[in-house]
Structure 1
Amino acid sequence: MILLALLLQTTPIQPLPKAVPLPPPDADSAAVLAPINRMFAALTARDAAQIAAQTRADGRATAVVTRADGTKVVRTLSWAEFAAGVPKGTERLEERLINPSVDIDGDIAVVWSPYVFTIDGKSSHCGTDHFDMVRDAGGWRVLNITWTQRTTDCPAP
């Protein structure tokens, strides 16, 4: 009887974690990130034409902004509107991705990354960027970007 009870006793076994695919080779990720980096350089240079050159005209830029009072605003712009909205001035604008994740399947890719946006080296805002990338005859281009934007809990620049 004791032997039967011992045989019927089971120890819970945790399931194995789900498989996670290996990241694509560095050269592939670098190719996907290249137009994003060029877009950020164009933003710093305030060069609307170079911003537009990294995108597909049929795409969109969407911001989900959390204001200081906690309210949220969603703004969607065409790429032309986005590029035209780059502020004039002499301050140094910089956006930096923090450990971007790149997933590629053929001619589409997704880049997901926390970011920090600085003006003259000081944190302006931060959040998460989500880029939809498409490879066409001209190479990788940004189809859409959606980002969150807040001014609290930002990492140091």
Structure 2
Amino acid sequence: MRILTLFILFLGLHGFAQNTPEQSVKDFFKAFHQQDTVALKQMTQEDLVLKTIGEGRDGNFMIKTSPRAQFVSSIGSIPKEMKFEERILSYETKIDKGFASVWTTYEFYLNGKLSHCGINQIQLFKSSAVEWSIISITDTRRTENCD
């Protein structure tokens, strides 16, 4: 009887295991690298907006905005022979109830060569009792001081 009780208790606790914002970001990048557009859509809100901040040719900073559909389509259309990897170097997570912000530093490699680096600032909200959903992503990109 005790074994049965412990087994039921274990199943109950396992059913309530919660995904963390950091794990949601890790899962996002796993789907990103696998070009899994279905998973990317499931992990993000339909009104997700991606913003990239970079330096223009004139030396001024600029912002490029992409809606989710454009982002997912572009990831899905990357040729399979092109190897890309966004290496996350660190995570800093802040949570306030159903809202979380994950700040990561990264290096981006294209066909094994460092292309650029920067930060990602990813905002999530708790869309259910156990799931965090990405609502926005902002990143910076630079080619200097990536070490």
User: TM-score category by the smaller chain?
Assistant: 0.7 to 0.9
1:103 equivalent among 86, 94, 99: 94
Identity rate, percent: 27
How many angstroms does 1:62 deviate by?
Answer: 0.4
TM-score when scaled to structure 2? 0.77
How many angstroms does 1:96 deviate by?
Answer: 1.9
How many angstroms does 1:67 deviate by?
Answer: 4.3
Give the corresponding residue for 2:133.
141
Structure 2: which 5+ residue stretches go unaligned? 1-16
Partner Cα distance (2:102, 2:116) in 1: 19
Higher relative contact order (CA 8 A, sep 6+): 2
The amino acid that maps onto 1:130 is: Q
Aligned length: 128
1:51 equivalent among 40, 46, 70: 40
2:31 equivalent among 12, 34, 42: 42
Partner Cα distance (2:56, 2:117) in 1: 12
Partner Cα distance (1:96, 1:109) in 2: 21
The answer (yes or no) to whether the contact 1:40–1:94 under 8 Å persists in 2 is no
Give the corresponding residue for 2:144.
152
Give per-residue Cα distances to partners, 1:38-93, cap 9 Å, x unaligned: 22112211222222221111221100122466343311111111111225212221
Q: Which has the larger radius of gyration?
A: 1
Give per-residue Cα distances to partners, 1:19-47, cap 9 Å, x unaligned: xxxxxxxx98x711122112211221122
Runs of 4+ in structure 1 over 3 Å off = none
Query: Aligned pair in 2 of structure 1 residues 125, 68: CA closer, same or farther (>3 Å)?
Result: farther
Give per-residue Cα distances to partners, 1:99-135, cap 9 Å, x unaligned: 2100111111111121111123321111111011111
1:81 and 2:70 are equivalent in the alignment: yes
Q: CA RMSD in A?
A: 2.1
Once the two structures are superposed, the pairs formed by residues 5-20 of structure 1 within 5 Å of their partners are: none
Query: Aligned pair in 2 of structure 1 residues 126, 69: CA closer, same or farther (>3 Å)?
Result: farther
Structure 1: which 5+ residue stretches go unaligned? 1-26
Partner Cα distance (2:73, 2:109) in 1: 19
The amino acid that maps onto 2:43 is: Q
